[in-house]
Chains A and B, each alone.
Chain A
Amino acid sequence: MTTIPLRYRVPWKKIAVYALAVVFALYLVLPFYWIVAMSFMPEVDANSVPPQWIPQHPTLENYTAFVDPTGAQAMVGSRAVRETPFALGNSLLVALLTAVLNLVLGVFAAYSFSRIRFRGSQVLLMVYLLTRMVPGIAIIIPYYLLMRELDLLDTYWALILSYTTFALPVTIWVLKDFFRAVPRELEDAAKVDRCGWFRMMWSVVLPVSAPGLVAAAVFAFMTAWNEFMFALFLTSTAASKTMPVIAANFATDINTQFTVMAASGVLAVLPPLVLVLIFQRLIVQGMAAGSVKG
């Protein structure tokens, strides 16, 4: 019999924590790993039974298909394949412009909540929050009719305008907290130097609250990049289709080559993923503070 020291206890808790950590890590990573792996496989390998967990013949052909489709790819699901490069550009432009427009509109409102005492400011903050709660489906139909009337269907503007209003409440909520944290003395010093309000914002407040601006911009960018329902209604050609619409085009086409679809999915997730990895801490802070997702 092995001797066990009298006071030795099996560290059940530690074992449980490590076991759960491993299980969760696999749960979080494996599905994503699967489409990444698939996107680097030739179609034959992706269809093999049992599956190839590690691509045996890694290839870039699923990615090059978007610029230079092979014969079969050009025929099967060709439209989505051809439109992918345009959709990437559209998505980037729409998301960037949404982020910029959000900051421009949000800075004024957020500053008012952080420095000015005015009647109804609490109600106004609540109005912004409630705006955030409005389900997209509630406004999509009239919004579609409106854009049809204004002849803005299938343009960037239809998307940018709607995404800006989705993201604006979060932008205001995030920015107001950061502005409030700017030391008052800095602003007073700027005033003593006879700086106008815009000068003061530009040279003092905004640089000091740069992390807040970045966080707000990232949230707005991701809102616009990930949005699907409005894009589905408002876009119809390569002129304005965004990546989620293209990805859905792949998914709803029965002839789709799974490997090319996987590649389009990976391309669509790359920008938000990179942003999240870079700005992890800011995002977690923002989410915890403003309860952002919705």
Chain B
Amino acid sequence: MTTSTVRQWSDNTRGYAMNAPALIAILLLVAYPIGYSFWVSLHRDNLAQPAARKLIGLDNYLSLVDDPAFLASLRVSALFVLVVLVVTVVLGLVLALVLNETFMGRGVLRSLVLLPWAMPGVVNGLMWRTVFDAKTGALNGVLTELGWIDSYQAWLASESGAFFFTAFAQVWNTLPFTVIILLAGLSTIPRELYDAATVDRAGVVQRFRQVTVPWLLHPLLIVLILETMNAFRAFDTIYVLTGGGPGDATTTVALLTVQRVLTYTDVGLGSAYAWVITLITLVISVAYVGLLYRRGSFEV
């Protein structure tokens, strides 16, 4: 390709030519699989019984309505998203507000915030397993030495215990993202607004409500949407920490789908699960893109 030929091309052609490599990769490796996945979901298809493969239309989807395992996993996922979201946003907001102040050691704390972000989900799960362990865990050690518990507890043995401790582990992993987005939002608030509010004799709470919250609304929305999506597809940490148990207390939709495919090799039904997840995610994504679009982040 020489300069002169490039110059002769219209901008449209050049634009698409330059996007061609990336677009081909995405079409082949994302778009095509999603379409193929829908096709598979219309079949009774178990890898263990290739002979029994059969086109059954929407039967896999229709069966979801009274599939107790699937419905239970949806409930677990919804509750998991709710708990993780609330705790992450509250903790993240407090931490971002702290980091927005000037104090000794702020730089250190800012670096520490990135630690959980660097942690692969699997290692996060593995780490919390050693912390929550019933016989040797650090949590038991700390609480015993503080005198808050008399004897070591099996934190992950009960259904509610496993659920909340798994959510707790997930929060630790996703907190940095929330903090950084909120902190970036906080840093855009002009100082004068606080000064003006102070002159007007507004108290701490009033200043927070009248200045901080309105300015933070947009970053908060972004955090809410992206963290919802994150929590909804959470897999690594749960897989390692509880494997979905005890019973199905921590079996989210993502976990159930993987079990369906890896354990039961039922790719037909698994694909139907996956498509439900895709549709839910799609709704959230459209909301997200719409939000960015309105804010004008999309200018080219």
Contacts and interface: CB of A to CB of B under 8 A. Distances in A.
A133 B274 contact: no
A122 B131 contact: no
Interface in A153-206: 161-162, 164-165, 168, 172, 191, 194-198
A134 B30 contact: yes
Interface in A1-47: 13-14, 17-18, 20-21, 24-25, 27-32, 34-35, 38, 46-47
B141 A244 contact: no
B135 interface: yes
Interface stretch (B61-69, B79-87, B103-111): B103-111
A250 B278 contact: no
A116 interface: yes
Given A17-B101, A121-B15, A194-B3, A49 B281 contact: no
Given A50-B144, A109-B18, A228-B122, A131 B26 contact: yes
Interface in A197-244: 197-198, 222, 225-226, 228-229, 232-233, 243-244
A275 B270 CA distance: 36
B262 interface: yes
A175 B114 CA distance: 22
A137 B41 CA distance: 13
Interface string B262-287: 10000100110011011001101100
* Interface residues of chain A: helix, strand, loop or mixed (majority): helix
Given A138-B281, A226-B121, A276 B33 contact: no
Contact of B300 (A30, A121, A133, A194): A121
B164 interface: no
A67 interface: no
Contact of A141 (B15, B117, B270): B270
Contact-size category for B:
35 or more
Interface string A88-119: 00000000000000001110110111001111
A72 interface: no
B52 interface: no
A232 B229 CA distance: 21
A165 to B, nearest CB: 4
B122 A247 contact: yes
A158 B187 CA distance: 42
B120 A133 contact: no
A272 B121 CA distance: 12
B154 to A, nearest CB: 14
A233 B240 CA distance: 15
B18 A116 contact: yes
Interface in B96-129: 98, 101, 103, 105-106, 108-109, 111-123, 125-129
Contacts, number: 300
B54 interface: no
A58 interface: no
Interface of B: 1-3, 6, 11-12, 14-16, 18-23, 25-26, 29-30, 32-34, 36-37, 40, 94-95, 98, 101, 103, 105-106, 108-109, 111-123, 125-131, 133, 135-138, 141, 144-145, 152, 172, 174, 177, 180-181, 184, 204, 222, 226, 229-230, 232-233, 235-236, 239-240, 243, 254, 257-258, 261-262, 267, 270-271, 274-275, 277-278, 281-282, 284-285, 288-289, 292-293, 298, 300
28 contacts: A13-B204, A17-B101, A17-B103, A28-B115, A47-B135, A49-B152, A104-B21, A116-B14, A128-B26, A130-B285, A133-B281, A135-B229, A135-B278, A135-B281, A139-B37, A142-B34, A164-B25, A197-B1, A197-B3, A247-B123, A248-B126, A258-B133, A258-B136, A265-B123, A268-B120, A284-B114, A287-B181, A293-B174
Given A161-B29, A228-B235, A287-B181, 17 more contacts: A14-B103, A32-B115, A35-B130, A53-B141, A116-B11, A119-B12, A126-B298, A135-B274, A142-B271, A146-B33, A228-B121, A247-B120, A251-B126, A265-B126, A268-B123, A283-B114, A292-B177
